[in-house]
Structure formats: structure tokens, C-alpha cells
Amino acid sequence: MGLFSNILQKLGLKKKEEEAKPAGGAPAAAPASAPAKAAPAAPKSAPLGGVTANKANSLEEAAPKSIDVVDVVAQLEEKAKGKELNWKVSIVDLLKLLDLDSSREAREELAKELNCPADQMGDSAKMNTWLHKEVLRQIAANGGNIPADLLD
């Protein structure tokens, strides 16, 4: 598991893969107690907006599902109480707040994992700045509520 996966897991944005899959790696079956839903019969009348009811139902099923938003800011603010860590600015402080390795080697590994541009990797300060912004962007992309001013 990569360092960024650990960040997501610490924030409650990603569960351990073992919990999500039953033994054997097969997808979980629907619970036996859940009643089966019968598909509605297609009406013989005119289609809805050019789409028949059955096609409309399949379009609804194919629509992307929204992800739950996790209040990352509240979590981090709570963890930061009484500590002199500025997670809103510093990648080192953010990693420390999450009880993760904040060493230069760990940050370089994380930067590689997130595809940091080569010109940023050679300068520790530039890499750290890029990495902090990218980690926050990726947290937001995975369902974390990161304020826009921290993503600039």
C-alpha cells in the first residue's frame, strides 16, 4: 500500500481492501434477506423524451454515484488541538498530524507516487510545496472537504 493510500485511510476516505472484499476476492453477494426488485414492464405508450422507460431505468443505473464527503478539515483541526503543527501549509506537519512518516525519504516516495514533476523533485522546498498542494487536491478528489483557498 502506498503512502497516499495510508493518508486516505487515516482520514476515513479509504477502507482497508481486506474489509471491502470477502475471502477469495470475489465480490460480495447481496444479502439473502433483501427482496428482489422486479423490473417494471415497458409501457406500450410513447417513449419518455425519446427514451423508453426501460432505457431510462438503465440510464439511471449507469449514472455515476456520488461519493460521501468526509469532513477532513474538522478531523485535522481536532487532531491539531494543543499541537504546534500547521497542516494547512506544511506537508511535514500534515504527515505528523496523521502519525505518518514525514522524513525526506518518505516525502520523496510520496512525491514520486503522485507524479511530482522532475524539476520540483530536485529542490526540497519546491517539492514540499508541490506535494502539500497535490496531497490536498487528491484528498479533495477522494471525497475530502478541502477549502478552495487551500487548493490554490
- pLDDT tens track of the chain, all 152 residues? 699 999 999 998 875 443 444 444 444 444 444 444 444 444 444 444 554 455 545 445 555 555 567 789 999 999 999 999 999 999 999 999 999 999 999 999 999 999 999 999 999 999 999 999 999 999 999 999 998 998 87
5-39: buried (b, 16+ CB within 10 Å) or exposed (e) per residue? ebbbebbebbeeeeeeeeeeeeeeeeeeeeeeeee
Q: Contact, 124 vs 131, CB < 8 A?
A: no
Give the CA angle between residues 135, 136, 138 to the nearest 5°.
65
Query: Grid coordinates in use for 24?
Result: 477469495
Q: Name the one residue in this structure whose C-alpha cell is 518518505.
A: 106
Domain edges within the chain: 87-145
pLDDT at residue 70, as a whole number: 78
Phi/psi of residue 107, each to 5°?
A: -65, -40
Residue 142 contacts by C-beta under 8 Å, 6 or more apart in sequence? 8, 13, 14, 67
Alpha-carbon span 66 to 75, nearest angstrom: 21
Number of residues that make up the chain: 152
